[in-house]
Amino acid sequence: MVIEIFRRREQKYLITKEQYAELVENISSYMRSDKYGKDGKYTVKSLYFESPDNKIYFETKNKLKFRQKLRLRVYENTDINGTAFLK
């Protein structure tokens, strides 16, 4: 019996506007626009919360198998009456 374990890995890169335009041009035929966005795009703003002893930071830094992340996220420009997601 084989049990597969999900392992998340993220790598982020800074690219120029020219590289972004070329990337979009090359992959756009394989993608579809997000129905919630304007022209397929929207702004995401996240506020991350931490404990006084930086427990969440150290859980991530030490790559604990089970760790927590607490964030408040809003999409587009919103106000105090707008929708927000606490995750």
User: pLDDT tens digits, residue range 55-72?
Assistant: 988 988 888 888 888 899
Structural domain containing residue 80? 33-86
pTM for this entry: 0.54
Number of compact structural domains in the chain = 1
Q: Is residue 36 within 8 Å of 75, Cβ to Cβ?
A: yes
- Residue 80's pLDDT band (cuts 50, 70, 90): confident
- Residue 16: inside a domain: no
Mean pLDDT, the chain, whole residue set? 86
Q: What's the pLDDT score for residue 61?
A: 86
pLDDT of residue 33: 81
| Whole-number Å distance between alpha carbons of 67 and 41 | 30
**Does a structural domain hold residue 28?**
no
Residue 12 lies in a domain: no
